[in-house]
Structure 1
Amino acid sequence: MRWRAYGEHAALLDCDSLTQTIAAHATIAATRPDGVAELVPGARSLLVVETPGSGALAAVRELLSGADLEHPPGGEPREITLDVTYDGEDLELVAQDAGVSTKDVVRLHTDAVYTVAFTGFAPGFGYLTGLPEPLRQPRLPTPRTRVPPGSVGIAGEFTGVYPRVSPGGWRLIGHTRAVLFDPRADPPALLAPGDRVRFRSAG
Structure 2
Amino acid sequence: MKDPRLENAGVDAWLVRLFDRIDEANMPWLMALCDRCEQAFGEALVDLVPSYTTLLVQYRPQQLTASQARTLLTDILADLAPDEAASAGETKEIPVWYDASVGPELARLEAEKGLTRDQVIEIHSGHEYRVFALGFAPGFGFMGSVDPRLETPRLATPRKRVPAGSVALAGRQTSAYPRVSPGGWNLLGRTPVTLFDPSRERMSFLQVGDRVRFVAIGREEFERLGGDTTPVAPVQEERS
TM-score, shorter chain, exceeding 0.5: yes
Query: Do the aligned partners of 2:33 and 2:80 also contact (CA within 8 Å) in 1?
Result: no
Unpaired runs of at least 5, structure 2: 219-240
CA contact (8 A) 1:83 1:177 kept: yes
Supply the AA of the counterpart residue of 2:77: L
Where has structure 1 moved over 4 Å in runs of 4 or more?
54-57
| Distance of 2:7 and 2:171 partners within structure 1 | 28
Structure-1 residue corresponding to 2:31: 26
Structure 1 residues 5-14 or 161-170, which shifts more?
5-14
**Most deviating of 6-15 and 74-83:** 6-15
Return the TM-score normalized by structure 1.
Answer: 0.88
Pairing of 1:1-203 with structure 2 (within 5 A) = 1-14=4-17, 15-19=19-23, 22-31=27-36, 32-35=38-41, 37=45, 38-51=47-60, 52-53=63-64, 57-67=70-80, 72-75=82-85, 76-87=88-99, 88-203=103-218
Q: CA deviation at 1:30?
A: 4.2
In structure 1, C-alpha distance between the alignment counterparts of 2:72 and 2:196, rounded to whole Å: 33
Q: Secondary structure at the match of 2:196?
A: coil
Q: Rate the CA distance shift 1:47–1:158 in 2: closer, same or farther, 3 A.
A: same
CA RMSD of aligned residues (A): 2.1
**1:61, 1:100 → 2: CA distance?**
49
Once the two structures are aligned, what percentage of the paired residues are identical?
35
Which deviations, in whole Å up to 9, do the C-alpha atoms of 1:12-31 show, x marking residues without a partner?
Answer: 12341233763442221344
Bigger-Rg structure (1/2): 2
Is 2:28–2:84's contact at 8 Å kept on the other side of the alignment?
no
Normalized per residue, which structure has more strand?
A: 1
Tell me, yes or no, if the aligned pair for 1:79 and 1:197 is still in contact at 8 Å: yes
Q: Judge conservation of contact 1:34–1:56 (CA < 8 Å) in 2.
A: no
Gaps of 5+ in 1: none
Q: Is the 8 A contact 1:145 1:167 kept in 2?
A: yes
Matched residue type, 1:106:
I
Q: Distance in 1 between matches of 2:130 and 2:188?
A: 19
2:39 is paired with a residue of what secondary structure?
Answer: coil
For residues 102-143 of structure 1, give each alpha carbon's deviation from its aligned partner in whole angstroms, at most 9, with x where no partner exists: 101111111100111001111110000121111111011211
Opposite residue 57 of structure 2, the aligned amino acid is: V
Answer yes or no: is the 8 Å Cα contact 1:10–1:57 preserved in 2: no
Give the deviation of 1:39 after TM superposition. Answer: 1.4
* Letter of the 2:73 counterpart: V
